[in-house]
Structure 1
Amino acid sequence: MKTANARHSPRLVAGVIALNLALALAGCDQLIKRAGGGEDAAAPADPVAGGDPARDRSAGPAMDSVAEVPVVDRFDLDPAIVDGESAFAAGFWSHPTLAFSSIVLAGGHDGLVGFVVESGAEAARIDGRVDALDVAYIGGAGYAFALDAGTATGIGRLRIISIDDIDQSFDISSALDNEAFSEGTGVCAAGDPDQPGATIAYVATARGAVFVEVGIADGVPAVSGVSAPVGAPAIDCAIDPATGEAFFLGTDMSVRRGPDGPALARLEAASAIGLILKRPEAPEDDADAPPATSTFLVALNRSSGRVQVLSGETGDILGEISLTASFDHAAVASGGALAAGFGNYGAVYRDGAIAVGSTGADGANVSVIPWNAVADRLGLPLSAGVAPRNLQPEEEDPFAVDISPTQP
């Protein structure tokens, strides 16, 4: 069944048109190449099939070019928060009931701001430096974990910021200053799947991974302590909320499962990683079996602004995406921040989204593309979405209308 949201902003409609046109032109280009008997004529290898020990996983699948996905939305950032020169961070927050009220987050040298994904309106902002950012759902509520690396003072600060389900306002739930956070470059957090209400959190540093102890105080998560750094030097991390496993991007460009686990993959250049969860359809011969969860990792190349997609199970590189120009927005030529969201954010973002933050002469901004466009261009299965708050299959959007043709 094809559905479309009953309410769309003009900005989003223009983005959808641009996305569909660009994907259609790309598809025509591939058909022309194959019809002409060129190098694309051979059927491509299945990019999802992995596990071949003889293949160099860092090489990725046989691809003749970087896949292109046009930018659908772009959010310009206030220079008071991101000055266009310093690094900044991004993330997604999923609304518990209204997909079109979800927000994209961006933090910089002097604040954190949230934009409603569909309308582009500013939802909320709060002061305080943010060098790294992640969003976790704990006890049914959503929280932003915001890291101030304390580069100037040698003392870093980790804040847990609650995001209100009603008006998307921000409020500081907890904060901890600690030398262990100093010069941290990444933070990751998720609810513990084995202990409801508990939290798994790490800060990635050049000294290794710092495990963050998070307790409950007055009914909300609170940072209570830290561990000594362990494992290999790390740039960034991402946690699979379905399993509690943490993935780390090392300073040697390796992607590891766990702070000191074996390398799943080795990238040429990356500065941040994120994680996408999907639930494939249950096997036809066992329709009652619960669907498995597929994990995809995404990695940002800061110098080019391109995003690589990896299998979280095997480490195989499934392809690379370039965020290209659309009717309304310029291409992304470099990247300063990465966010991967697998929730339903409304309209073309029903199956999740990827955001890349970049800076330039015109300031800083965050560009967003839908995950289903990424999956389509890389030949990945368009699997069912997963609700970030409870990790259950996404429900049909109640604010949707059926536009499927009917027979008389």
Structure 2
Amino acid sequence: MKAAEGARNLLRVRKPHEHSRVTYVELFFDLVFVFAVTQVSHFLLAHFTPLGALQTLILMLAIWWVWVYTSWITNWLDPELTRVRLMLFALMCAGLLLSTSIPRAFESRGLAFALAFVAMQVGRSAFATFTTPTSDPLRLNFFRILSWLVISGVFWIAGGVLDGTAQIALWLAALAIEYTGPVAGFYVPWIGASTTQDWSVEGGHMAERCALFIIIALGESIVVTGATFAGIEWTGISFAAFVSALFGAVAMWWIYFHIGVHLGAERISQSSDPGRLARLAYTYLHLPIVAGIVVTAVSDEQVLAHPSGHAGVEVILTTLIGPLLFLVGVLLFKRAVRGHLQPSHMAGIAVLIALTPLAPFLSPLLLSAATTLTLIGVGLWEAVSLGAAARSPVE
């Protein structure tokens, strides 16, 4: 137990040339978001319309944002301290309410979703603000963040009270405020804006946290594949669909983790401005990666349920858009950390686009197999072209 916890502030003690590892309580906190990601994918499957897609996007943006903001806070605060742990446990309670509200977030549970979200965003930021000594530069930064989240919270709660178009408009406005905040340096009148240099990010920890969320999303995909396959009749074609879905998840893991995750951790740890790289590469550019995995999980469930016949619109869109979002996200992420675009990823994106006019003439299984082979090809191309030397994990 750390001595004199109450006598000092709750900020992490930075040690030169030492990477702050992710703590067990952070991993425990993440369990809530395993459920949240599953809820989002099931919401899309149950509301596969243009309106449903917009609603799913709102939910996905909200879930990612509340998680990544918590990762920023635990990058600054020390989760090994009791008060920080209690704060995370409180966030878990609100997060579970948030997750269970997702299926009816645009119906009877809109206010519950909004209140849980605002409680997490505002409560966490208020805790960081008022537990940080006034002499520490981060306190002013926490106050700026809190100010923005209080304003966006008004829109969240107002949208939760209303329904229909008004609810969607207010929640989109709330998201616009929250996603603009980091770019604007959380500008507050008379106080000004912070800079990324003010954020003192521990890069290795941030990289590890986001990599773990990718694992959460891939884990949700595996769970959906396994649960669906367990509940259907086992035939040769259903087994082939199962293999395609599983290999697709493995290919996504390979593309992200074989080289990209190590390069990202190394570059942000060595960066002279890790806050800027964390804001771009990990706060914004990881969103399409996660969204791609979630949409692909929806595709896998549909393909496993109905692998034969001609692919319908739902199957075509999810089977192509999921891998496409994933590759675009990883491409931009690796460009942010490497400085150039990966030819293998651009080729994979081109192949997926080329499959679009052919998709209506393919069965769901063949379309799934084509996208899986595309992902495998991207991973193999990158591995061969860059080689093992590019994978230098941070010690």
- TM-score w.r.t. length of structure 1: 0.25
Which protein has greater RCO, CA pairs closer than 8 Å, 6+ apart?
1
User: What TM-score does the superposition give when structure 2 sets the normalisation length?
Assistant: 0.25
Higher helix share: 2
**Which structure's residues are more often strand, by fraction?**
1
Which is greater in Rg? 2
